[in-house]
Amino acid sequence: MISNVLSKRGLACIGDNVVDHYVDQGVYYPGGNALNVAVLARRFELANTVYIGILADDEEGKHIQSCLVAEGFNDDDYCRYVRGETGKAKVNLVDGDRVFVSSNNGGVRKRLALRMDEPDLSLIKRLGNVHSSCFSYLEPELPRIRSYAERLSYDFSTGRDRNYFAATCPHVTIAFFSGSDMNDPETEAFIREVHSFGAPMVCVTQGQRGAVMSDGHSIFRQGIVQARVMDTMGAGDAFIAGFLSGTIQGATVEASLFHGAKSAAAACEWSGAFGYPHRTGIADVLTDTPA
């Protein structure tokens, strides 16, 4: 049964889940942009959040499922359970910063594309807000999702493919990017270009330099909130989760950006994207494909 709480406005996070294997520590943690944003949005004050995704039946997929239950995602009507391999990434932790080494390119999630059915679309319409990412292989579904959602936020990560922008930005209301490699003039020029592809709002997170957001009329700058950094894994996803938590609940752009910065700082003070370490047994099954 669908809980009555789903009749309220909230957030549906659709798409990727992985495990991040810390080679130097011999442990893995649950992760993936869509999964991280779902879990962290709940932690950062948006209780009405649902995760829609494909979960594999291997050890790592079962660990992710148990973490979802531990975080209060007890209604699994919207997850698909399949036979196969969970997406896995090898990383090392260097001075608190995660460095990606290799991956298995999404595992079974890349081979079995996620498609929306009527219960999903009904949920999207009720909640009003959707978040997904370029790692979710959801591009064919974006037009239909957008037709049911009031707002669709999307994480492009470090992507700079203009053809991809042309195909996806018309369906996106908030485009998030990682852009620590760009200086201020380059950032503003990049934001203007993304707007030209149809995204009404654009946000670029830049690590220690904070974040820059544009609504097409004004530029908003948000500095970092100081933290005792243990692990930066998932900090950008935490920023997105905090920002969406604020704006969905009616906060201003400025207040939502500050909530995002506080959320990112909090995420730096625990290990993994949102915790739940598990001793690894996957070191020998990952391919050597660059992440």
User: Mind listing the pLDDT tens digit for each residue in 184-224?
Assistant: 999 999 999 999 999 999 999 999 999 999 999 999 999 99
Q: Is 91 left (phi over 0), alpha (psi -120 to 50) or beta?
A: beta
Rounded to 10 degrees, the C-alpha dihedral 73/23/284/53 comes to: 20
Strand 18-22 versus strand 27-31 pairing type = antiparallel
Contacts 24+ apart (CB under 8 A), 66-73: 67/30, 67/39, 67/274, 67/276, 68/35, 68/39, 70/276, 71/39, 71/42, 71/43, 71/274, 72/42, 73/38, 73/39, 73/42
The maximal CA–CA distance of the chain, rounded, in angstroms, is: 51
Q: Is residue 75 part of a domain?
A: yes
Alpha-carbon gap, residue 88 to 100, rounded angstroms: 11
Q: Is residue 7 part of a domain?
A: no
Q: What is the pLDDT of residue 100?
A: 79
Q: Is residue 92 part of a domain?
A: yes
DSSP H or E stretch at residue 236: helix 235-248
Q: Is residue 3 part of a domain?
A: no
Q: What is the pLDDT of residue 96?
A: 66
Amino acid making up residue 215: D
Q: Is residue 285 part of a domain?
A: no
Q: What is the pLDDT of residue 111?
A: 86
Rounded to 10 degrees, the C-alpha dihedral 256/261/265/271 comes to: 70
With a cut of 50, list the residues of the chain below it in pLDDT.
1-7, 282-291
Task: Give me 110's structure tokens.
Answer: 């890349």
Q: Is residue 283 part of a domain?
A: no
Q: Is residue 211 part of a domain?
A: yes
List Cα–Cα distances, 68 to 41, 50, 87, 131, 173, in angstroms. 13, 10, 16, 17, 27
Q: What is the pLDDT of residue 260?
A: 98
Neighbouring C-beta atoms of residue 118, cutoff 10 Å: 7
Rounded to two decimals, the pTM is: 0.92
Q: What is the pLDDT of residue 75?
A: 64
Number of domains forming the structure of the chain: 1
Q: Half-sphere exposure of residue 100, counting CA atoms within 13 Å on the CB side?
A: 14
Q: What is the pLDDT of residue 281?
A: 64
Q: Pick from 254, 231, 234: which is nearest to 243 by CA?
A: 254
With H, G, I as helix, E, B as strand and everything else as coil, classify residue 108. helix
With H, G, I as helix, E, B as strand and everything else as coil, classify residue 73. coil
Find the domain containing 114 and state its range.
12-277
Q: Is residue 286 part of a domain?
A: no
Paired residues of 20 in beta bridges:
29, 89
Please check whether residue 71 is in contact with residue 273, taking contact to mean a CB–CB distance below 8 angstroms: no
CATH of the domain at 242: 3.40.1190.20
